Amino acid sequence: MNQSDSILTQSPQALTQQLADWGIPSWRTKQIQEWIFHHRAVSFEACANLPKTLREKLSSHYKFYSAPLLCVTGHEGETRKFLWKLCDGNLIESVLIPAPAANTGHTSSNSEENRNTLCISTQVGCACGCKFCASGRSGFIRNLAPEEIIDQLLGAERWNPHQNKRLIHNLVIMGMGEPLANYENLMKALSIMNAEWGANIGARKITISTSGLAPKIRRLAAEEAQYRLSISLHAATDAVRSLIMPINRKYPLKELLDACEAYQQTKGRMISFEYILIDRLNDTPSQCQGLIRIAHRFHAHINLIPYNPVEGCDFKRPPQETIRKFTSELLAGGISATLRQEKGGNIDAACGQLRLRKMKDLSEK
Ligand code: SAH
Ligand code: SF4
């Protein structure tokens, strides 16, 4: 018996086996998993139609993980941020990006409209240390366990004000942390969020964003599931990229882009690139031309994001005119690109910002 096992991460086979050991019929497995993923119960006590003895057995054997929601920012129809408190007191964020999804740049077709997207975290902090990022600036604390990743989705659905319909249809793994640096836990969590018996979100509705861990991109290519991949590029040359993203010194552009090519060839799937626009750093005409060359090589879509100011960072968002010029040059170069104007600039929309502010508030109390 292992009391640290989470009920959220039990496969139907594993749970059925455990039930069989207790002499309980296998049809209870479906019932239990429906309580978790469909009714989003927060404890075994809440699973009303399970016999008391079974609930007690389950409670003594499995953990029923559910992080309390500390606060939600934003209003109906806007970007909303959730701040969760983990068992060990650490704080993590998830972001609800409302439909129409076309505005967010996360999805590409009109049929995706009226579909909300949840952006989830994979680590507490991040070791990559990108200079523009609140999560990177506060350092790395720990990886999230698979159940802590899944619970962000279940928690958002629990909060859903319209309980009669599902809130989340798309997932982007773009919250705090570098997803591919927590590879095993992420893959386990995604397989459960993707499974029909689990949260049942299609693999094509799940996008993993990475700062560019080249070997892990190759490993991802060998996975069976068809998740989407998005690369946080943010510069078109090694000189500029290494200035703002230390990871580029470990995996320079050539290594990263070769891994992307291998991924695209194996998977037969398109990759997209994220590109934050930072004033007089990566918004120059020569960076734009470099970006056009890279985008052509992959027939890739570019998501442009004006830099979101982070406390203690000297970077600036480029003037509107520069943003406009950069965007139209990309389009003129034959590149498919969307400019994602963050609606949530004043609610700490960039990843890790709400957590930083809250931790400051808490430490001042
Ligand atoms: N570590 C992964 C996923 C989390 S970061 C990655 O880097 O891809 C998610 C996205 O938020 C990345 O594209 C990142 O570059 C972006 N981001 C971080 N700080 C930002 C800021 N201050 N303004 C705008 N986007 C930011
Ligand atoms: Fe980490 Fe992504 Fe932030 Fe870079 S941008 S520090 S990889 S979370």
State the distance from the centre of ligand 1 to the C-alpha of 225, rounded, in angstroms: 24
CB atoms closer than 10 angstroms to residue 157 = 17
Q: Domains in the chain, ordered, with CATH?
A: 3-61 (1.10.150.530), 69-363 (3.20.20.70)
- Residue 276 near ligand 1, beta carbon < 6 Å: yes
Q: Which residue has the higher pLDDT, 100 or 335?
A: 335
8-64: per-residue pLDDT in tens?
999 999 999 999 999 999 999 999 999 999 999 999 999 999 999 999 999 999 999
Q: Which residue has the higher pLDDT, 101 or 174?
A: 174
- Residue 350 near ligand 1, beta carbon < 6 Å: yes
pLDDT of residue 349 exceeding 90, the answer is no
Known catalytic membership, residue 313: no
For residues 233-256, average pLDDT: 98
Task: Round to whole Å and give the CA distance between 318 and 306.
Answer: 7
Alpha carbon nearest to ligand 1 atom 4, residue: 174
pLDDT of residue 244 exceeding 50, the answer is yes
For residues 282-309, average pLDDT: 96
pLDDT of residue 161 exceeding 50, the answer is yes
**Residue 232 bridge partners (DSSP):** 274
Report angle CA 91, 188, 85 to the nearest 5 degrees.
15
pLDDT of residue 65: 83
Known catalytic membership, residue 223: no
Q: Which of 93, 112, 148, 274 is catalytic?
A: 93
What's the token pair of residue 40? Answer: 């989003």
Q: In this predicted structure, which of 229-233, 265-269, 295-299 has the lowest mean pLDDT?
A: 265-269
Residue 138's pLDDT band (cuts 50, 70, 90): confident
pLDDT of residue 238 exceeding 60, the answer is yes
* Percent of the residues in the chain that have a pLDDT greater than 70, as a whole number: 88
pLDDT of residue 136 exceeding 90, the answer is no
The sheet with strand 206-210 has its strands ordered as 69-73, 80-85, 91-97, 116-119, 168-173, 206-210, 228-232, 271-277, 301-306, 337-339
- Residue 119 near ligand 1, beta carbon < 6 Å: no
